Every structure is written in C-alpha cells, then in structure tokens.
Structure 1
Amino acid sequence: MNFSHQDLARAHVSARLGEAQQSRRGRRLARLLGSGRKAEQLAQQARLAIARSL
C-alpha cells in the first residue's frame, strides 16, 4: 500500500481526536465519581448529626 502524506496526517489527527475524547470522558467520570463520594459523605454527616440530636 502506498499512503500519501495527507492520509497519514488524517489518520494521525483522527487518532489524536479519539485520545482527547477518551481523556475528556475519563476526567468527567472521575469528577462524577468524586462528586458522588462527596455527596455520600455529606449525607452520612447529616445522618450522624440527626442521630446525635435525638
């Protein structure tokens, strides 16, 4: 096969775009998991506070 420079460049750009999308998804997932953990911690603190006040 004989690839042109444009074909190689296009493949390279496509690969980079895919990597960027995966990276964004990974960061978003980490953020969502982190915020979920934070919400769970706050809920636990609220439950403890209610239990102590009874």
Structure 2
Amino acid sequence: MHEDLARAQMSARLGEAQQLRRGRQQAAARRLSRKAEQAARQARLALARAN
C-alpha cells in the first residue's frame, strides 16, 4: 500500500516536471523565433536602404 502511494506520487511529480520543462522549452522557442523574425526584418530594411 505504502509503496504504491510513493510510486504514484513520484510519477505525478515526474509528469509535472516534464510539463514544466516542455512549457519552458516552448517559451524559449517562441522568444528565439521572435528574435529571428526581428533580425530578418532589420536585414530586409538594411538591404532596402542600401539599394
């Protein structure tokens, strides 16, 4: 009985940790893509000005 409870808690905590990590990775990916979009926009502007 006690072992089952401990195992259930451990797997629940593991699931929470994985969800947290996934959320953080998605947030980081969004930030990176936003930065990449800005860089591309600035590069296009610079090219337009140079021509």
Interval of TM-score (by shorter of Structure 1 and Structure 2): over 0.9
TM-score normalised by structure 1 residue count: 0.89
Deviations 1:13-52 (A, max 9, x none): 0000000001111111111111100000000000000111
Question: How many percent identity over aligned positions?
Answer: 65
- Residue number among 6, 28, 31 corresponding to 2:28 in the alignment: 31
Matches within 5 A, 1:1-54: 4-54=1-51
What is the identity, as a one-letter code, of the residue corresponding to 2:5? Answer: L
Number of residue pairs matched by the alignment:
51
More helix by share: 2
Letter paired with 1:16:
R
CA RMSD of aligned residues (A): 0.6
TM-score (norm 2): 0.94
